[in-house]
Structure 1
Amino acid sequence: MQAAMLQDRYNRRFPYLRLSVTEACNFRCTYCLPDGYKKTAPHNFLSVDEIRNLVRAFAGLGIRKVRLTGGEPTLRADLADIISVIAETPGIETVALTTNGYKLTRSLADYRAAGLSALNVSVDSLIPDRFKAITGHDRLLEVLDGIALAQELGFRAVKINTVLQRGVNDDELPGFLKLIKKRALSVRFIELMRTGDSAAYFAERHLDPAPMISFLATASWAEQERRATDGPARVFRHSDYTGSIGFIAPYSKDFCSTCNRLRISARGGLQLCLFGNDIFDLRRFLAREDTLETMQDRVATLLGLKRETHELTEGKSGRTRHLAMIGG
């Protein structure tokens, strides 16, 4: 399979694949699964062998970074095996993981040994009672211990994801600034996104991050240049701080112009946009190696259907009922 580079009709290139390995999640975050995860179909998620073939095919199409998401990916008992087969795939340079962090102190060393190179941990509040109210679990200190372990294990990129919510955690910028003063962490404030199940919550809690961005700009924080495989965050640094602050603002103008990632569901469906209406089955190509080139051709063709922008600003969130469906 010859190496190529996926490109859509808007000249956007795609070196970054987000791969969901499960839809299950053990947290009950207010903005995602406030009533907890409800199993609606058999857990026939992609096997390790299917993931090996999938990633091999996408590496042949120019994918260089794979991020493992969920639901909560650490619920997979074979996650270390999944990490290993991806890290061993020729062409893959970065294997990243997004997690709620509840299992890091027990399993992160195994993930690191398997080839994990980058880590994002969800921390929606640094205040224990508030963290519990948001997630349904009193585990903030345990999650923070996992982040500290990640730094001890030598991860070069440890990021904290914080979903910004009006009246919930919109007063916590000073606490996060204190956290990164002497530590090489990158905090990413994520603008709350409307999904099919969260219209009422979104209307109550959505907050535009633009004022926070403006505040940092006036306080001598400088925006950093994006690399080809970076996510969508606008990242800011300050000479007095070891860490950085980033913002993912999907409702901002031209947000989709920098799109560089594709998404695969836990059952092998290609979703061209987080908030698109369609999902395209790729699993039927994954059982045998001699069908992978056919899958590559299929992916390249489907990329021609990718829209220029999402329709979030028009109140349309596509097939995504909640972010645990495909990892945000």
Structure 2
Amino acid sequence: MNDQYGRKIDYMRVSITDRCNLRCFYCMPNRIQLVNHSDILPYEELLRICKVAIKLGIKKFKVTGGEPLVRKDCIKFIGKLKALPTVEQVTLTTNGTLLESYFDELCESGIDAINISIDTTDGELYNQITGSSKYDVSKIIDMIPILIERGIRVKINAVILAETLENALALASIAEQHPVDIRFIELMPIGEGEKIKNVSAKELLRIIQNRYPDLHKVKEKRGNGPAHYYGAKRLLGCLGVIDAVSNSFCSKCNRVRLTSSGQLKPCLCYDDSVDLRKLIREGVSDDMLLQVMEKSIYQKPRQHKFIEKNVSENKLMSQIGG
């Protein structure tokens, strides 16, 4: 369906949990309060909402968290979602720490692509950012060619931080070795991110261009998101930037978000949402659920207010679904 500004909305991010096995300081610090288990939607309710979303023209789904793989039966849910009629694509965003454990199941689920969140290749810095020394970032990176061999498209997401700028080239060089896209994302002023100084994508691009002087924009569409992609002769994949703070790309936005507690969010910037969990548990019919979702999607705001620092959303990114 189209929203009030004529944008085609065909993509939904579905958070299945607010839990995570890492504690990245900009996303989910140790002191945060988690949602009660009873308030997390069971898979049956998640699938019911997704089925209604399909009737409204949603064809692509991103499964997120928290860390989605910490929730039991996550991969079974992915398989059921992928099997729904008219679904074109189901992808997963993960921190990658559990990929090895679930590798075979994921490959058999029909997953179309996996986005792995890695902010740095430096092991010590990785531990500092994630608040954990339990995981080896090099082992996560080693999973990339294994996934590619099984036909799964892989992207790496990296939040641009002052701490990681010096390591950006090491992260970018992964695209020299493997046909993967590395996407650098400006830290959005939401939750803990509001307290941290933003590093612009332009600053990062200056560093990258020193290594790849022939860096140039590519025209082909390389995903569902708003990234600007760049190629170079030395790269097997592309380097992308998602400059959500310094540049508004809202005119092309095609997405809505469903939080793990059942809040339908038309825009990440605002605290406006519709409580679908409440409606479902009050016994609402699918027809009424469709009407409520249709109205919410239609009224999606024109654009975010990150540049003006006018953000009404006060939840953490882990609670919203990334």
Asked if the contact 2:20–2:70 (Cα under 8 Å) also holds between the matched residues in 1, the reply is yes
2: distance between equivalents of 1:44 and 1:237? Answer: 44
Cα distance in 2, alignment partners of residues 40 and 302 from structure 1: 23
* Other-structure match for 2:204: 212
Most deviating of 217-226 and 57-66: 217-226
CA contact (8 A) 1:25 1:37 kept: no
**RMSD after superposition:** 2.3
User: 5 Å matches for 1:37-186?
Assistant: 37-138=32-133, 139=135, 140-155=137-152, 157-166=153-162, 168-186=163-181
Contact 2:17 2:67 in 1 (8 A): yes
Deviation at 1:177, TM superposition (A): 3.0
Q: Which consecutive residues of structure 1, in runs of 5 or more, have no partner in the other structure?
A: 1-5
Letter in 2 for 1:137: S
Map residues 182-197 of structure 1 onto 2, 5 A cutoff.
Answer: 182-197=177-192
CA deviation map 1:259-313 (0-9, x unaligned) = 1110001121101111112110123555799922322222221223221111122
What is the match of residue 228 of structure 2? 234
Counterpart-to-counterpart distance in 2, 1:90 and 1:228: 24
Answer whether contact 1:180 1:241 (CA < 8 A) is retained: yes
Determine the C-alpha separation between the residues in 1 that align with 2:31 and 2:90: 28
**Shift, 1:228, TM fit:** 9.6
For residues 171-225 of structure 1, give each alpha carbon's deviation from its aligned partner in whole angstroms, at most 9, with x where no partner exists.
223212321113111111010111234433x13xx11111333564982223233
Give the match for residue 221 of structure 1: 215
Aligned-residue offset at 1:132:
0.7
What TM-score, normalized by structure 1, do the two folds share? 0.89
| 8 Å Cα contact 1:184/1:242 also seen in 2 | yes
Is the aligned partner of 1:15 residue 2:7? no
Does the aligned pair in 2 maintain the 1:271–1:279 contact within 8 Å?
yes
Identity level (%):
28
Aligned equivalent of 1:274: 268
Residue-pair matches, total: 318
Cα separation, 2, equivalents of 1:296 and 1:240 = 48
Amino acid across the alignment from 1:153: R
SS at match of 2:190: coil
Do the aligned residues in 1 keep the contact of 2:121 with 2:138 (CA within 8 Å)? no
After alignment, is 11-20 or 235-244 more displaced?
235-244
Q: Distance in 2 between matches of 1:63 and 1:228?
A: 19
TM-score of the two chains, using structure 2 as the length reference: 0.91
Structure 2 portions without partners, runs of 5+: none
**Is the contact between residue 119 and residue 157 of structure 2 (CA under 8 Å) also seen in structure 1?**
yes
CA distance in 2, matches of 1:108, 1:255: 34
Give the aligned partner of residue 3 of structure 1: none
Q: 1:131 to 1:269 in 2, by over 3 A?
A: same
1:291 alignment partner in structure 2: 285
2:256 is paired with a residue whose SS is strand
